[in-house]
Structure 1
Amino acid sequence: MNRAPTTAPPLHGRAVELATVERLLAAARTGRSAALVVRGEAGIGKSALLAYATAAATGMRVLAQTGVETEAELPYAALHALLRSAGAELDGLPDAQADALRVALGLAAGPPPDRFLVGLAVLTLLAELAADRPVLCVLDDAHWIDRASAQVLLFAARRLGNEAVVVLVAARTGLAPDFPAPGLPELTLSRLDDAAARAMLDAEAGDLPRRVRDQLLREAAGNPLALRELPAAHRAGRAPVYPLAPPEAGRGGVAPTGSPVEREFAARIAALPAAARTALLVAAADGTCDTGVVLAAAERLGATPADLEVLERERLLTFTSGCMGFHHPLIRTAVYGAATLPAKRAAHAALAEVLDERREHDRRNWHLAASSFGPDERVATALEESAVRARERGSHEAVAAAYERAAALTAPGPEWVRRMVAGTEAAAEVGHREWVGRLIGSTTPHARDPAHRARLALVEARLADEADEPELTHRLLLDAVGPAASAAPRLANEMLLWAVEAGWSARDRGMVERVLAVAEDLDLPDRAHLRAHVAMATAQLEDDPDVPLPPARVALAEVAGCQGPGAPRPTASLAGWHLVTGDDAAALALAAAAERESRATGALGALPRVLSALAASRWHLGHWNDAAAAAADGLSIARDIGQDRAVGGLVVVQAHLAAATGDEVGLAAALAEVDGRRPTAASAGTAASARGLLDLGAGRFDVAADRLAEAVAGPGRPRALPGLVEAAVRAGRPEQARAAARRFTRWAEHTGQAWARAVALRCRALVAPDDAAEALFAEAVALHRLDGAHLFARARTELLLGEWLRRARRRSEARAPLRTAADAFAELGARPWAERAHAELRATGETRATTAPDCGALAELTPQELQVVRLAAAGLSNRDIGAQLFLSPRTVGYHLYKAFPKLGVASRAQLPGGWPPLRSGGLAGP
């Protein structure tokens, strides 16, 4: 419920916490945003700290909302209440964001919005509100906020920058539901120390004898709410020696409920007149601040407005600006926990009647469910209707909860299974693995219909895939495809394509080939498409060097020809296959198109995989700063939505970028994340490859050879082979170098890519006799120029040619390729490699400095600033840039403000179209 600003009580022993809040508010008044999650046990002072912040937020706009248990399953209920005073500003949002938020809040009809597009809309809305004056957003009892609201609010909070917005969230620890908030700073309130607790008790109950205060101090054990409430209990004669059970436990349905403070509230409630207790229970069952609904329902059970007045006098309920609330959240916990089941059912039934008259169908349905006992098909059908409406609003959490509750009210049988399967699928959309696991465990033993069993297996496969468990994904898909084949052959084909990708991720040729065998047995249509995927995967996994590999272009063309219209997820998959077969330029074009589609439609769920392909293609092509930007952006989103597989691919790019640039700290951070993850076949060799690249650039050839040999030990890892050739040659291991050169040459011929054939020629030159090496080097350089991309690979070829020429005592001829290499390495920011090139140049007698003139300014930009500058140079407004990058327009403006001085420009007007140029600073891409 929305709680109006109140005068905060004095907070003893919280000087550090108060200073933290004051610092956040002061920062907001200077235009800086922040978010903080306050955690602690019941009664520890979370609400008091939020009340202090609200009272201290002079000159700020305050949005406040308290989570309530009865609305925890209503999609976007908390968000609707929080933003109800900001309806006018909603019209100023970009159309896609405004439409998504209106649908989520039930203000308009439309297709289900992506929940992260809703989050972006909330972020933009908060920024728009803060343009007038700073905003304080207060969320109390966040553990009861519906999951849809929590996700979008946390998404927005994590992206606050310079919007002058402070988000304060309070969540209870202990028996309350967990409230995960990864990525946000946290403040845990501990119990008061003895001095602070005594000072507070003296202030609350200085009139009580010292002996009594000492006893109450012991009983309160540093809990501020207990210190405030126990003196009143003593004066009322309820706690001469505390704690005691409430008087005559069981009278009026009262029973002890948890903490001493809750028991005290329960005792106070037990002393009320029966009608007042009824009104209080109805208020607790409702959980909103709608006084009219509560009073109308309470009157149906014999209460009157006078009973609400009693509750206000007893400091149990508060009324502010027509909004009813509990004096403290624990009062609601106490009254609802102490009520008998018949009393609770009667309260919910009365509320359902009132809400039915008001045509608030979803709230009515949940109250009907709470009032039901045993199977009730009428209520189950109503809840299923609520699930349909929740899906239309894009809240899969509410869909899952409604289907699960509907199933609980359904008699055992096919309808029960159908509803549980639907709930399981919706829960999987949320990525809530524990919830899904519980639903699957409950449903699978009773699912007899093959289609239901297939759908459950698909859910398990999806979770396994997102958790980067390809072997489990593959097994689940093949187990499920048989039941799906006859009823849904198109779906079965998609499942088999997915299984091919799982086999490739596991680097297991047998797994890949089993997919085609299953397809042939099932006689599925469109097997040509599947054969093309299998051909690509098995070609990469063929580890017999004497077996020629088929041309990759043939399989790729067949796969692309069967590709449907450009949805982001399948387009990203196709981009991934182009990367596997060395066609990095086509991968970049596909990934960039998928990124544009994802951002234009707000399909944030597809973005991590898209950005993984985009970052990898930019890394290979030499657009390193753009690769770093894509990787950072993708990781931020992937961690937000729990896509572990995408996290793994993005961290690999970060690790190799750090290795190539000599950033040992960045490499250690990236590899720490790699090492902390469950090892997979796809990640095997990642650490060795990245560390080997760092060693190779630094000239530590023996160590590099060992590490790179480890990196290429299995099939499907060809890109580290050229480094192994170079390291092995310099370490005096010719046989190892020749074997690696043969492997890479075979793969390069398979790809048909000019860059790969150029690198293969370089590898052959390194292991060839001197009389053959020069021609091979020359042909390699010519092919690199034909390719026109892959700047790092080309620079390495030029460096190795220059080193070969210098060792052949042809120092003057060596200078040209070494200069070219040094300039390219400097442009890329590949510091160790640039130092190697400069050292070689000095050995030839060269003394001039070699730099890339435009590299320095761009290198100073952060990845986020690079993305913003690129889009600003293309003519996009701050609002359009924010919509693409999931930032607020104000944060976009801040990034430009920070970037312009680094670039030596004063405004966006000085950024010419198409700037920065390709490869300069690595900023590139369609």
Structure 2
Amino acid sequence: MASMLYGRDAEAAEIDRLLDRARSGRSGVLVLRGEAGIGKSALLDRAAASAGDMRVVCGTGVEYESGMPYAGLHLLLGRYLDRIGDLPDAQADALRDAFNLGVSGSGSGSEPGKGDRFLVGLAVLTLLSDLAEERPLLCLVDDAHWLDEPSAQALLFAARRLEAEPIALLLAARDPDAPDAPGRPMVAAPGLPELRLRGLDADAAARVLDARADAPPGHLRREILTEAMGNPLALLELPGMQAGAKGERSTAYERIQRSYAGRIAALPEPSRLLVLMVASDDLGDVGVVMDAAGRFGASVRDLEPAERQGLLRTTGEGRLAVRHPLIRSAAYESAPLGLRLDAHRALADVYLERGDICHRAWHLARSVTGPDEGVAAVLEETAEAGHGGGVVGAVGVPDARAVNGRGFGGSEAVAALYEAAAALSPDRAHRGRRLAVAARISADAGLPERAVDLAMRAQSDLDDPLARAELTLIRASLADEQDRTGEAYRMFAETAASVADQDARTAGYLFFQAASAAVNAGDFAAVDQMAARVEDLGLPNAPHLRALARLFAGQDPRALRHRAADGVAALRELLEAMRLCYGPRERIRVAMWHLMLGDLAGADAAADELEARFREGGAIGLLASALMLRSRTRLLLGRHRDALTDATEGLRIAEDTGQHRVRVYLSTVLGLLAAIEGDERRCLELTAEGIERGVPPSSVHGAAARGLLDLGLGRHEAALERLSDAVSGPHRHGAIASLPDLVEAAVRLGRPERGRDAADWYREWSSQVREPWVEAVALRCAALLGPDEDADKTFTRALDLHREGGPPFERARTELLYGEWLRRVRRRNDARTLLHAALDGFERLGAAPWADRARGELRAAGESPAGGGTRRDDAVGSLTPQELQVVRLAAGGLSNREIGARLFLSPRTVGYHLYKAYPKLRVASRNELTRLDLT
């Protein structure tokens, strides 16, 4: 195969740099792209030969096993199963789950089925990092486009987090736009660097062809060079084909396939069977293959002809493998159907004898050509093996918490087995039931698109309204998450009505979800209709819906100011009603309602508790929502560094887990931070998607952030118009915190009448929520709009309330406005005291434009303030968000391994962040961190 490397000097040099980087302790990832036969596998082989003393681990995607969850990952890491026990408990359990090894019983406390994929990815990252501790690691994955989806997602998760480990990860995959490229995650591999392989140039192609012992002469040589189009494998294989191919319309790829098939056909029958066995099984375990082939009379001696023909090889890991991925498809597709089925039956029997019921089930599924209830029942029994049987849920479908795959191959494996069982089910009812279970498990495993596909297929086979309602819930939830809120509302409402006579509890829950979707869609009349419908039906949760309807009643510019008291009362009623609801998503929603009441301490405490629970249990998808909530509360509490850290981590997780709405929300939190700091470019970038797509509440928060940016930069007219739009739209309940900004913009523009309605509503809201800092801001608005003779007393009362706690940014703004007023009435000494306090607060928060305004006012008051920056350039402020997270945990006594488990990083990357942080903090070791103020 070395001849295939003619003309690949640049590509080889790029790979050599990747290996050198790993040897020097820095990670590198590269995806080789190109058509079949272009030389991807040869470059992987060269990398392995160049690895020297590096540890090399190899894996491959197998087309015929791509439906078997974690098959690719098992092939890559299966020889290191004994190292799983060294991983943190939650990661070890997730990887044991994926590999069908059972769990340790450590009780990680994770949410059922949640975050499994990403914990597996984290476990892969930690395991690879552990292997690289002993010597640099080269990880090679061929045919990555055929990796099963869970394996691909886990590898992508790990690859994106490789940073400071001596690891080189090299993957080979087809072009995403190739006609034969499967629609799988690793085909696109977003975020990973790529190297695209083109056909060899004319000189290199000629050298490949001429290097053959039987190099073709004259015109035949020219024909082959033209037909091969620089494809190295075509240059190697086409000369050996029969001469009668001239004028044939088939592609070089198809002719190469036939060439391999011809070589296989020329083998003795036992050798042909061995090649088929290797092509049919993803593991290539010598014992399994020989045992299965032995049932047809083949022996070890029959391997020799296949090896001599360059079709099979024995790897350094003791596996049998084809020498090129195209050989696998040629061997499988050229074999008679009956022989393929017999091969799978034999492999199934061998795996059963060895106690591997998972591989037995998959081979059994491929041993039949159509519906077969006997095989379908075996697949279902295999899926149930890890949980002891299905438990019927609230709406007649087995509860996913009972079939989430704990102790058996993970949630995705169980769902895939149920789906395969459904495909083989002759009976319509059995097929629908099995698809429904697969849909439930996929939804709980964080695979919404897959869950919806399964749910839609199941619904056509189910007649029971309750079972159909369960599946509609899955579909509507995804529609709501993808901001198709009107569609979600209709599905929830219609399904609720269809089951109201059979199950009041389920109907009530679905009506509440319909009302929530209507809120997201801005259809507040529909919320009122849902409440009335639930009351008419006498459903038990009618008070909850009536409270929700009152909360959002009168959402228009004329009615809102009269509804603050009703809205707050309804919100308190909802909080009380939901007090005993312990579902994680419900608890996040309740904490958000605390924010609407101005209860920052309550919201932050709830966010802290949820963050700790989800992080400890490895519920990574839910963790993004907890960080979304906590970043918002910490921003309002003035803990801007903490807000930046939470939002940055949450955004990364939301991107990894495909949570669109959470990702956009977190972007607007970062956009609001940028607005406070006066970073216009970042503010506009971070708020663009939420505004342009009209995604609530991010659309309102984004507009509010831009309005605050305009206000801070002195663009008062732009601020007034932008904020007026935000607080008068259908989602104005998300803009309560911006009402004082609108008031200030109107006053500074000399149009105070534009701010009176907003001030009145905010004052009424403050009187209902009874939070000191909210009342202080309401008094600030009153001082701005009221007569001068009342301003001094009103501002003083506001500052007294600010001292009881609340956002320091709001307190500094009150001090600034009061100081400006005092300067205007010629009380310069008093003004300077407040302006200094305001400047100090703004500098601590990094609020540059606001600090500049305070300095300007101090100069107008007769003082020349020193400096022109903020205090964000202190030692702690110079740390990146991730460095700050790491040093705080290290100061708390956690080891690098413990920190890595908490932050979804490898221990080595944790050490790298500490190495970068120490000089910034002017310390030499983690022991010195305990003496620093890291708040």
Does the pair score TM above 0.5?
Answer: yes
Residue 30 of structure 2 aligns to a residue whose secondary structure is strand
In structure 2, the residue matched to 1:701 is 716
**Alpha-carbon distance, 1:436 to partner:** 4.2
Note closer, same or farther for the CA distance 1:501–1:905 as it changes in structure 2 (3 Å cut): farther
Note closer, same or farther for the CA distance 1:675–1:345 as it changes in structure 2 (3 Å cut): farther
CA distance, structure 1, for counterparts of residue 821 and residue 237 of structure 2: 85
AA aligned opposite 1:241: K
Note closer, same or farther for the CA distance 1:14–1:811 as it changes in structure 2 (3 Å cut): farther
**Alpha-carbon distance, 1:154 to partner:** 1.8
CA distance, structure 1, for counterparts of residue 513 and residue 275 of structure 2: 55
Note closer, same or farther for the CA distance 1:205–1:637 as it changes in structure 2 (3 Å cut): farther
**Alpha-carbon distance, 1:204 to partner:** 3.7
In structure 2, the residue matched to 1:189 is 197
CA distance, structure 2, for counterparts of residue 672 and residue 193 of structure 1: 45
**Alpha-carbon distance, 1:827 to partner:** 0.5
Pairs within 5 Å for 1:622-641: 622-641=638-657
- Select which of 901, 906, 929 maps to 1:888: 906
In structure 1, the residue matched to 2:347 is 351
In structure 1, the residue matched to 2:815 is 798
**Alpha-carbon distance, 1:490 to partner:** 4.8
- Select which of 314, 319, 333 maps to 1:337: 333
**Worse-superposed segment, 699-708 or 94-103:** 94-103
Structure 1: give runs of 5+ residues left out of the alignment: 1-6, 246-255, 918-926
Conserved? CA contact 1:431–1:463, under 8 Å: no
CA distance, structure 2, for counterparts of residue 624 and residue 548 of structure 1: 29
- For the pair 1:214 / 2:216, whether they are aligned, the reply is no
Note closer, same or farther for the CA distance 1:524–1:819 as it changes in structure 2 (3 Å cut): same
TM-score, normalised to structure 1, is 0.91
- For the pair 1:309 / 2:327, whether they are aligned, the reply is no
Pairs within 5 Å for 1:603-642: 603-642=619-658
- Select which of 183, 193, 200 maps to 1:178: 183
Conserved? CA contact 1:458–1:477, under 8 Å: yes
CA distance, structure 2, for counterparts of residue 431 and residue 86 of structure 1: 27
**Percent same amino acid among aligned pairs?**
48
**Alpha-carbon distance, 1:416 to partner:** 1.4
- For the pair 1:720 / 2:759, whether they are aligned, the reply is no
**Alpha-carbon distance, 1:826 to partner:** 0.6
In structure 1, the residue matched to 2:918 is 900
Aligned length: 896
In structure 1, the residue matched to 2:527 is 512
CA distance, structure 1, for counterparts of residue 75 and residue 208 of structure 2: 34
- For the pair 1:444 / 2:459, whether they are aligned, the reply is yes
- Select which of 119, 122, 138 maps to 1:120: 122
Conserved? CA contact 1:553–1:752, under 8 Å: no
Pairs within 5 Å for 1:298-697: 298-301=293-296, 303-321=298-316, 322-388=318-384, 389=386, 391-392=405-406, 393=408, 395-429=410-444, 432=447, 435-483=450-498, 490-538=505-553, 543-550=559-566, 552=568, 555-556=571-572, 559-560=575-576, 562-564=578-580, 568-674=584-690, 678-697=693-712
**Alpha-carbon distance, 1:604 to partner:** 0.9
**Worse-superposed segment, 542-551 or 614-623:** 542-551
CA distance, structure 1, for counterparts of residue 19 and residue 532 of structure 2: 64
Note closer, same or farther for the CA distance 1:537–1:53 as it changes in structure 2 (3 Å cut): farther
**Worse-superposed segment, 324-333 or 571-580:** 571-580
Residue 135 of structure 2 aligns to a residue whose secondary structure is coil
AA aligned opposite 1:466: E
- Select which of 31, 34, 37 maps to 1:40: 34
**Alpha-carbon distance, 1:167 to partner:** 1.7
In structure 1, the residue matched to 2:401 is none
CA distance, structure 2, for counterparts of residue 553 and residue 128 of structure 1: 55
**Alpha-carbon distance, 1:491 to partner:** 4.7
Note closer, same or farther for the CA distance 1:355–1:244 as it changes in structure 2 (3 Å cut): farther
CA distance, structure 2, for counterparts of residue 370 and residue 345 of structure 1: 7
Conserved? CA contact 1:142–1:179, under 8 Å: no
**Alpha-carbon distance, 1:386 to partner:** 2.9
**Alpha-carbon distance, 1:380 to partner:** 0.3
Residue 448 of structure 1 aligns to a residue whose secondary structure is coil
CA distance, structure 2, for counterparts of residue 455 and residue 11 of structure 1: 56
In structure 1, the residue matched to 2:400 is none
AA aligned opposite 1:729: V
In structure 2, the residue matched to 1:250 is none
- For the pair 1:162 / 2:157, whether they are aligned, the reply is no
Residue 230 of structure 1 aligns to a residue whose secondary structure is helix
In structure 1, the residue matched to 2:275 is 280
Residue 561 of structure 2 aligns to a residue whose secondary structure is coil
**Alpha-carbon distance, 1:651 to partner:** 0.9
**Alpha-carbon distance, 1:819 to partner:** 0.8
- Select which of 892, 895, 900 maps to 1:877: 895
CA distance, structure 2, for counterparts of residue 801 and residue 394 of structure 1: 64
Pairs within 5 Å for 1:852-867: 856-867=874-885
AA aligned opposite 1:391: G
In structure 2, the residue matched to 1:228 is 236
Note closer, same or farther for the CA distance 1:560–1:190 as it changes in structure 2 (3 Å cut): farther
- What is the CA deviation profile of residues 284-334 of structure 1, one whole-angstrom value per residue up to 9, with x for unaligned ones? 222331233223333434544444322111111112343211010011112
CA distance, structure 1, for counterparts of residue 365 and residue 801 of structure 2: 71
CA distance, structure 2, for counterparts of residue 293 and residue 356 of structure 1: 11
- Select which of 130, 140, 143 maps to 1:141: 143
**Worse-superposed segment, 721-730 or 744-753:** 744-753
- For the pair 1:821 / 2:816, whether they are aligned, the reply is no
**Alpha-carbon distance, 1:753 to partner:** 1.8
**Alpha-carbon distance, 1:877 to partner:** 2.2
Note closer, same or farther for the CA distance 1:906–1:441 as it changes in structure 2 (3 Å cut): same
**Alpha-carbon distance, 1:220 to partner:** 0.8
- What is the CA deviation profile of residues 469-522 of structure 1, one whole-angstrom value per residue up to 9, with x for unaligned ones? 333333222223345556665555544444443333333322333343343244
Note closer, same or farther for the CA distance 1:162–1:484 as it changes in structure 2 (3 Å cut): farther
Residue 874 of structure 2 aligns to a residue whose secondary structure is helix
Note closer, same or farther for the CA distance 1:90–1:441 as it changes in structure 2 (3 Å cut): closer
**Alpha-carbon distance, 1:897 to partner:** 1.7
- What is the CA deviation profile of residues 15-34 of structure 1, one whole-angstrom value per residue up to 9, with x for unaligned ones? 33222222221111121112
- What is the CA deviation profile of residues 170-195 of structure 1, one whole-angstrom value per residue up to 9, with x for unaligned ones? 22233242332233222322222333
Conserved? CA contact 2:819–2:832, under 8 Å: yes
Conserved? CA contact 1:69–1:287, under 8 Å: no
Residue 460 of structure 2 aligns to a residue whose secondary structure is helix
- What is the CA deviation profile of residues 217-252 of structure 1, one whole-angstrom value per residue up to 9, with x for unaligned ones? 11111212112222333xxx356637577xxxxxxx
Note closer, same or farther for the CA distance 1:480–1:290 as it changes in structure 2 (3 Å cut): same
**Alpha-carbon distance, 1:614 to partner:** 0.8
CA distance, structure 1, for counterparts of residue 583 and residue 19 of structure 2: 43
- Select which of 70, 73, 84 maps to 2:67: 73
CA distance, structure 1, for counterparts of residue 506 and residue 615 of structure 2: 27
Instruction: Compute the RMSD of aligned alpha carbons.
Output: 2.8
In structure 1, the residue matched to 2:209 is 201
AA aligned opposite 1:213: R
Residue 513 of structure 1 aligns to a residue whose secondary structure is helix
**Alpha-carbon distance, 1:551 to partner:** 7.2
AA aligned opposite 1:136: L
Residue 190 of structure 2 aligns to a residue whose secondary structure is coil
Note closer, same or farther for the CA distance 1:793–1:178 as it changes in structure 2 (3 Å cut): same
AA aligned opposite 1:83: L
AA aligned opposite 1:699: G
- For the pair 1:746 / 2:764, whether they are aligned, the reply is yes
CA distance, structure 2, for counterparts of residue 291 and residue 873 of structure 1: 50
AA aligned opposite 1:398: A
Conserved? CA contact 1:560–1:574, under 8 Å: no
Note closer, same or farther for the CA distance 1:610–1:490 as it changes in structure 2 (3 Å cut): farther
